[in-house]
Homo-oligomer: A and B are copies of this chain.
Amino acid sequence: MPSKPLPPITIDAVYAAPGYLFRRMQQIAVSIFIEECKAFDLTPVQYAALIAIHTHPGIDATRLSAVIAFDRSTLGSVIERLQAKDFVERKPAPEDKRIKLLYLTKLGAAILREIIPAVERAQARMLEPLKPTERKALMGLMAQLVDLNNEASRVPLRAEDALEHLGKGG
C-alpha cells in the first residue's frame, strides 16, 4: 500500500491557502481605507477606537482593547496618537486610581462625523469586484467564521463581558 504522497512544496499552494488570502485581503483592505481617508490621516485602528469610544464614553483602555479586539499593549500608543491629535482625552477615574477614562473631544466627535462617508466608500470598494449576491455571501461567511473562531486569538475579554459594568452595552 503506497503512502499518501506529500503535497507538492510550491508557492501556488500558498496562494490558495486561507492564511495567505486572509493576509492579502487585510493588506488590500487597509490600503483602500488609507486611500479613501487620507484627508483625515486616520488609520483603521484609530477609526475603530474613535467609534468605540463614541459608543462607550468613559470606557477604559483594557475594555476598549476587548471591544475592538485590539492588543492591550499596542493600544496605549494608539491612544497617545489620538490624544496628540486632540481627538481623545483621558480623565482619571475617581473610584479607581489605576484607570483612565476615555472620552472623545469635540474635535474627535466632529472628525468622526466627517469621516464616515469616506469609510463607507472604502468598505464598499473592498467588495466592489464581487456581485451583490457574492458580497452578501462572503460577509455572511466571514462574520460566522470570525465569531466561531473568536477564542482562537488572544483577546482578554469578550466584548459583551467587557461592557457589563458600563451599564447598557449596546
A residues near B, CB below 8 A?
A: 6-7, 9-33, 44, 48, 51-52, 54-56, 67-69, 112-113, 116, 119-120, 122-123, 125-127, 129-130, 134, 137-139, 141-146, 148-150, 152-154, 170
Copies in the complex: 2
**A12-B170, A54-B9 known; A23 vs B19 contact (CB < 8 Å):** no
Q: Report whether over half of chain A's contact residues are helix, strand or loop; otherwise say mixed.
A: helix
Q: Are A146 and B69 in contact (CB under 8 A)?
A: no
Report how far A31 CA is from B152 CA in the complex, Å. Answer: 7
Besides A31-B154, A130-B148, 5 more A-B contacts (Cβ < 8 Å) are A9-B112, A11-B170, A17-B123, A18-B126, A18-B139
Report how far A143 CA is from B24 CA in the complex, Å. Answer: 10
Q: Which residue of B lies closest to A126 (CB)?
A: B18
**A28-B152, A69-B27 known; A138 vs B142 contact (CB < 8 Å):** yes
Q: Are A18 and B123 in contact (CB under 8 A)?
A: yes
**A12-B170, A14-B51 known; A21 vs B127 contact (CB < 8 Å):** no
Q: Which residue of B lies closest to A13 (CB)?
A: B51
